[in-house]
Chains A and B, each alone.
Chain A
Amino acid sequence: MNFHNPFHELYLGESIGANEFVQLFSDVMVGPSLALFQPGNVVLSGLPGSGKSMMLNLLKPSIRRAYKESGINFPVPKEYSKFIGAGINLQRSSIADLGQRPIRSENVQDELSELAVFFGDFINYSITRDIINSIEELHEGFDKEIGINLSKENKDAFTKVLIKDECWFGYLNDVKDWDNLKHKLKSRLQEYRSYLNYNKDFLDSSIINSKTSIGIPIIVLAKHLRECGILANDVKLYVRLDQYEDLVWLNDRIPNLGTNFQSIIYKLLAIRDVTVSYKIGTRPFAWKYSKQEVAGTSAVLEQYRNYTVVSLEHVLKRKENSRSYIFPKLAEDIFKRRLKNKMPDFKLPKTNCLEYFFGKGMDARERALKLVKKDRDKVVKFDSSWPASWKKFLLSLSKTDPFSAKLAEAWAKQKGKEQIVDSTPTERPYPWESKKYWVKERTAQALIQIASRNRQQIIWEGVDDILNLSSGSLLGFLSICQQVWEAAQQDIQYNKYHEKVFYPFPAPIQTIAILEASLRWVEDIIKQPGGHKRKKFVIYLGTYFYNRLTSDDKMSYPGSNGFSLPISVITENAEIEDFLLDACDYGDILTFRHTPKNKGAKSRQKFYLNPIFSPYFKIPAIRTKEPIYFNNIEDIKNILFDSGAFSDFAPPKYVIGSKLKTNKIDTKNNFKQGGQYSLFE
């Protein structure tokens, strides 16, 4: 049977062509990321799969053209669409090859500094060339819309003044015309590549003697493009620098190489020239962990002054105000586009596409009935002091409504409500049922306890579950969809009696798919740098939460799937702060500002596991009620040590107060330096 999985490929940003992009791109994110299409440098930060590359792709001329040709509106609002986009993908441009072959110096420090200059030169030429190519690509069809006039006169005048500028150090002197200019730019880049690939013995001296200063040729280029009339004065130039994190990883190959290259990028941002803006795509940790020292100076970059950050995680995170929560809309839109593209013959419903495939989801009562089909009396745990009448009532209630029976048990065990056991209610709604918020806060915990007491797996199904589990993570959402289709396919193979897939997907298919996706996410923690330690921490924490939630018969602490710490406690220990923030940056835990229940109490930060781990640990994916309160550094320290996440750190000595925070902890170096105090003594 032909049953194609539309989510087979999780990542599309890098791999799809312009025409497919137009079909698959969701414009829901454009609004919150408008800074990308406005003047000013922007750092677009997001985890893998959060849609960075898709957003940056909107700056590409080929994408713009594809929109026009397909008749679909360009998603960028008209008032912001007068721009020329160009750029470089730091991973694909072979720029990382700089460094795999020395160019001149024998002294390592000089070598790194000089390589950084070559790196800047390579970027200058790549971008210059790409801007010219973009203008060529857009001038037909967009000349009026954007404001491009690529007449022969303009081209000639432009080439003439451009090549004379001092910024090129004479390299373009022999350029005759526009085409010749393009050729010259291309050949310089090719020269670099040939040398780096060992196809030439020397780098041409004309290159070595004409290294340009980062960013300057681009400003010059922009100025002349406007002055010569090729671009109208109000046309903006936006330059993409995607996969910035690759520079950080260069340090693993040659110490400090990446850092030197990064400082060149900072210099680019520090120029703050209004004619060109840079839009940098990066993973959060890569941007955070650099000192952001501008090459050649002791200045550091400043957020808001030199650049603004658009964090896709932040945009997609669920806020207190649910109206600003755009994730469900985005998920629905992306889902629909994928299906339309991959299953063109399938007749999709106009609205609520997610609901059509995943269903509304059962309510708690129904779930409890599904969870325990037999032995329903196990749902409730009696207190020895309870009178027989109350026990009998609970037993009988558990047969027909195990969910309510579990709530009743907790109700009777809670302080101040004990008297219920002496006056068994006779009419519905029972007292516990009519307390809407009391029930709402305890629903997930009650179901977990019912499942655990009957040794049953929690049911995961329905739109709400899927959206809660992926909570702001597009990749999480897509991987759940991928697994659901996969499981449906398996189901057909195991049970040959049916050949057809039914929608919404049956609950068992969704449950196994979600368990599978969760398992993979937990396993994949180790794939990221530092992941081994974080996985230990996550596993310990998940198990800890599960035990707390299931052993709390009174259901007094339904928020035990997260913990909260005073901010002052977090900042008092750089190492712990780094670890927690690191885990947030890699998406293993989520953090939110926590307004404590007592007024005047210290400000706090709360932490939850990424909800996609929840099925693995059988804990709720939603965050209700107060999390576990940790008040001292010892509380979290114990977890870090007991989980084994910190055991590797134990022997080395760290220097307290030496501002470890700005640098990633480097166990080896700290060991070498032999610090003064042990952090955990």
Chain B
Amino acid sequence: MTNLQVAVIEWSADENGNDLIRQYRQLNYLADNLYNDYEPTKYDYPEYKFRLTNWLDNINDDELKKKLFKLAAKVFYINQEGISSLNRTAYLSIIKRWIFEESNLKCDDPNLQIKLEEHLKAVWYTSLSDSMRINSFYKVNSLSSSHEIKADWRSTKAMSNSNTGQTHRGDIENWRNYVQQRKVKYIVVLEDFVGTGKQSKPIIKSITETFPENRILFVPLLICQKGLSELKSLEETSLNLKIKPVIVLPSAAFISWHEKNEDINQPSEIEKLQTELIDKVTEGLSEKKRNKLKKFNLGSLVVMYTNTPNNTSPLIHVNTDKWKGLFPRKNRSDI
């Protein structure tokens, strides 16, 4: 087993080696103060510091280990507090503003506040999938709701499509009736993370088609540029849809990001590391799983306290007998 302290001392002899001691200090701090709320490992797994040692021990080569250690510091971790802030920003800065624009209210209207409140009552907040915790969204924004149904469209769609592969007309009618009875004008669809957009696109599309009379806003809390481009094409064809993410992930949150001293015409150092290690990481996985990993891997470095998205580099989240993950991902199919 790697004695991390010994390893860091050795690595620190390199040029700019003092940075690694800084990083070691930083990871110690983050382990105690930030990473400890990662839910998938909260009970059954050892704590972060121990996982980090195990993760480095996935490989024997010292140079690769050092690179892996550097990668650990690049993880873009969003803790519970961070998600709450994203939820607050989604409501206060995006949804409210959108309602204001959609409702054609005027800033100088003396009754603006009352009217805006009326419009806000006609909003139905839903989630795209079960990974978006819509209840938390209600709580942190102090929203009360008359909607006992807080739809999770992914599950809804899956249920409707079951067996026949065709959407039941009856189901659609039920939803439409619900929306009519509750006098819903606006449907807000929230999602915590959108990577390629391949999973969310068909769901969003079917929502816009099911409710052609309603105004629909899709708010991903975090989205990759690739996913945003994919979904924007939908926005152009669906007249009742708007897409407004809270954060579009910056390029520094991806393994393709180049450090100052790196040649930008070459793949970045961590990208090379991923290429070098990917076979080892996916060793023993079925062909199907390997392909899936490949398909979704955008090389993002995002980890959320609830789970690691499958668009994040597999180096970080894959957890098998052969590769111990740093932030093991809980897959839906495992549950």
Contact = CB atoms under 8 A, between A and B. Distances in A.
Partners in one complex: yes
Interface string A509-529: 101100110010000000000
A456 B52 contact: no
B143 interface: no
A616 B14 CA distance: 12
A516 B25 contact: yes
A541 to B, nearest CB: 16
B23 to A, nearest CB: 11
A524 to B, nearest CB: 13
A515 B25 CA distance: 11
Nearest to B47: A493
A308 to B, nearest CB: 42
Nearest to B1: A495
Interface in B1-44: 1, 3-6, 8-10, 12-14, 17-18, 21-22, 24-25, 28, 31
A39 interface: no
A496 B46 contact: yes
> How big is chain A's contact interface, by range?
20 to 34
A679 to B, nearest CB: 34
Contacts of A618: 13
B18 A616 contact: yes
B4 A494 contact: yes
A228 to B, nearest CB: 61
Contacts of B3: 491, 494-495, 508
Determine the main DSSP class of B at the interface with A. helix
B50 A493 contact: yes
Contacts of A516: 21, 24-25
A494 B12 CA distance: 18
A457 B5 contact: no
Given A487-B5, A494-B52, A495-B1, A457 B46 contact: no
A451 interface: yes
Interface string A431-470: 0000000000000000000011001110000000000000
A618 B13 CA distance: 8
Contacts of B10: 456-457
A629 B307 CA distance: 61
Contacts, number: 59
A674 B14 CA distance: 47
Given A456-B10, A508-B6, 20 more contacts: A451-B13, A455-B13, A456-B13, A487-B5, A490-B49, A491-B5, A493-B31, A493-B49, A494-B4, A494-B5, A495-B3, A496-B50, A508-B3, A509-B5, A512-B24, A515-B18, A516-B21, A516-B25, A519-B22, A616-B18
A494 B27 CA distance: 12
B53 interface: yes
**Residue with the greatest number of chain B CB neighbours at <10 A, chosen from A452, A493, A509, A616:** A493
Interface in B114-151: none
Pairs of residues from A and B, 8 with the lowest C-beta to C-beta distance, nearest first:
A457-B13, A508-B6, A493-B49, A512-B5, A457-B9, A494-B4, A494-B49, A456-B13
Interface of A: 451-452, 455-457, 487, 490-491, 493-497, 508-509, 511-512, 515-516, 519, 616, 618
Contacts of B5: 487, 490-491, 494, 508-509, 512
Contact of A455 (B8, B14, B47, B50): B14
Contacts of B52: 494
Nearest to B6: A508
Given A455-B14, A519-B21, A512 B49 contact: no
Nearest to B46: A496
Nearest to A512: B5
25 contacts: A451-B13, A455-B13, A455-B14, A457-B9, A457-B10, A457-B13, A457-B17, A490-B5, A491-B3, A493-B47, A493-B50, A494-B3, A494-B49, A494-B50, A494-B52, A494-B53, A495-B3, A495-B4, A497-B1, A508-B5, A508-B9, A512-B21, A515-B12, A515-B21, A519-B21
Contacts of B24: 512, 516
Nearest to A618: B13
Interface of B: 1, 3-6, 8-10, 12-14, 17-18, 21-22, 24-25, 28, 31, 46-47, 49-50, 52-53
Given A456-B13, A495-B53, A519-B21, A512 B46 contact: no
**Residue with the greatest number of chain B CB neighbours at <10 A, chosen from A452, A456, A497, A512:** A512
A515 B13 contact: no
A519 B23 CA distance: 11
A130 B35 CA distance: 51
Contacts of B9: 457, 508, 511-512, 515
Given A495-B3, A496-B46, A616-B18, A512 B8 contact: yes
A452 B52 CA distance: 28
B41 to A, nearest CB: 15
A452 B22 CA distance: 20
A508 B21 CA distance: 13
**Residue with the greatest number of chain A CB neighbours at <10 A, chosen from B5, B14, B24, B52:** B5
Contacts of A452: 13
B236 to A, nearest CB: 51
Contacts of A457: 9-10, 12-13, 17
A663 B37 CA distance: 54
Nearest to A617: B18
Nearest to B25: A516
Contacts of B13: 451-452, 455-457, 618
A491 B46 CA distance: 15
Nearest to A508: B6
B13 to A, nearest CB: 4
Contacts of A515: 9, 12, 18, 21
